Every structure is written in structure tokens, then in C-alpha cells.
Amino acid sequence: MKKIAVLGSTGSIGTQTLEVIENHLDKFQVVSLVAYSNAELLTLQCKKFKPKYSALLSQDGKDCLIESVKDADVVVFALRGILSIDAVLYCINHDIDVALANKELLVCAGHLVVEALKKSNSKLLPIDSEHSAIWQCLTSKPEKVFLTASGGAFYHLTDEELDNVTVEQALKHPKWNMGAKITIDCATMINKAFEVVEAHHLFGLAKENIDIVVHRQSIVHSMVQYQDGSVLAQLSTPDMRLPIQLALLQERTNSQIQKLDFSQLLTLTFEQCDYNRFPLARYGHKVIGNPYLAIVLNESNYIFV
């Protein structure tokens, strides 16, 4: 039985993580649940999973995060922002596996995480669907990776139409059901900038070896190109429960996601990212190598969103 702590248990990733765990109760034991402020849902989760430890971050403060991870084998980090950085480093320094669903942590502190991993037996397991796809496709050192982008809610709108979009429209992602913050980041495509920085830290890739490819169907979750010209891609229906399950189990087994039906999958398209209309997507390449700029980018985006 793997002992699991879920930080951010009441959010989109946290609730789907608990769905995965509930589907594999013979493999997982929930030892800790931490939510940001949703006390009502956290109470219900605690009644169902009976963790040894639970806390509300808004009430108990950041110190609860270290306490919450001490008994875990794997910790799912799904809290927003960089509040969890001390807990991530604690896990790495104590050989606890980190299942990371939080972009900001690697954008702002990836250099600290990578340095800590060099002296640890802890595994850094990506929950982002794109980075999970890369991880699944890696068989040797890649020459290049292609991060696929759905393009969010507005990719094919004209410049005139973009001038009049609303928050409500931005929150209607065509393929994924996610939290509000990441859905807005998809609409502006700054989420791809963050994922470029994540890929740099997760897989040790130079920025010139990370490309963004727009793939509106959200079936190919990323691709890996090798020196011989081969490209491996990971395909599945857009459902975060698959990368969550792979991060927790680190093996293939039955899942809850709907399997692909190739009789219905008529077309897969790929196109270059239009950086002129979505300039924020470029910023990941610009801040790699400068953690101070990465922090400014992350915090500025957070304020604007």
C-alpha cells in the first residue's frame, strides 16, 4: 500500500486524485489531506478516506504543509501558487516522491528542485498531461520535445473578435474541465510558456529543444523526437485522471478514462503556434536561465488573472 498525501484535495486535480485512489483502494492509503479553504468538502473527504492528518491552509498556515507530508510515500502537490515550495523540498530531502500538478513551483523554483533531486532518491513525477506524455515516451535522451497546445478558447478568433472576448467565454475550454486559473492561462496561452520552463527542469532540455505545437483535438498530449528522426507520441482522451494515476502507480493498469475510438477519431491536426497573436506563449523560452524573471512572469500573470 502506497501512503498518499494530497495537498489541494478540494480542487480540480485533488478531487480527481481521490477518484483515482478510490478506484484502487487495494494499492493506496490516504494519510493526509490539505485544502486551501473549502472546509465543507474537506470534511466530507476526511469522512470517506479517514486520513491521519488534515488541515485548512487558510486557517492553519503554511506550517501545516510540512506536517502533512511526513508519513507519505507520494505527495500530490495541487495547491495554487508557490506556497508548497518548502514542503516539496522537504519531500525531496527525505526521499518522498513528489507528484507535481503545480506549474508555478517549477517556474519559480525549478533550479532549487533540480539541485535538491541530485542528492535524493525522491522521484519528481509530472501530473501535467503534456509532461506526463513526454515521460511516457522517453526511451533515451531526446533530441527535441513538442508540447502540444489545444489553443484554449480563443485560438481561431480574428483580431477583431479577440478585442471583445469576455471572462465567461475564456472559462469555457473546448476540451478540458479544469480550475478557473489554469483555464484563463490556456486562453492567453501563457500556460504553454510555463510548461516550456517545466520541461526544461523536468527533462534537462535546452530551450531551443522545446517546441510548442497547436493541436486542437487534445488527443496527442505531447511528442518526443529522437536523433534518428523518430517521433513518439502519447495519445488518449483528455482526462487528467490518467496522468494522475500514472504518477501515483508508476505502472500501467486499468483506469477510469474512456478509451479512444479510432472509428470516431477522423482527423488529428497540427499547426505552428501563432506567437504574434498569442505573444505570452513565447515567454517561457525568454525566462529560462533567469529564475528572477521567471518569478516576475509568474507573479505578474497571477495578478492579471
The grid coordinates of residue 48 equal 470517506
Please say whether the beta carbons of 180 and 243 come within 8 A.
Answer: no
List of domains in the chain: 2-126 (3.40.50.720), 129-304 (no CATH)
Mean pLDDT in residue range 97-104: 94
Q: Tell how far CA 165 is from the center of its chain.
A: 26
Tell whether the model's pLDDT for residue 220 goes beyond 90: yes
What are the tens digits of pLDDT across the range 101-131? 999 999 999 999 999 999 999 999 999 999 9
Tell whether the model's pLDDT for residue 176 goes beyond 80: no
pTM of the model as a whole = 0.91
Cell 483555464: give the residue: 183
Q: How far apart are CA 275 and CA 271, in angstroms?
A: 12
Please say whether the beta carbons of 71 and 56 come within 8 A.
Answer: no
Mean pLDDT in residue range 245-259: 90
Question: How many helices (H) and strands (E) are present in the chain, helices listed first?
Answer: 14, 11
Please say whether the beta carbons of 67 and 53 come within 8 A.
Answer: yes
Maximum C-alpha span of the chain:
55
Average pLDDT in the chain: 93
Closest CA to 285 of 277, 272, 294: 294
Output 291-297 pairs: Cβ under 8 A, ≥24 positions apart.
Answer: 291/108, 291/109, 291/110, 291/111, 294/107, 294/108, 294/110, 294/197, 295/107, 295/108, 297/107, 297/193
What are the tens digits of pLDDT across the range 48-58? 999 999 999 98
Tell whether the model's pLDDT for residue 174 goes beyond 80: no
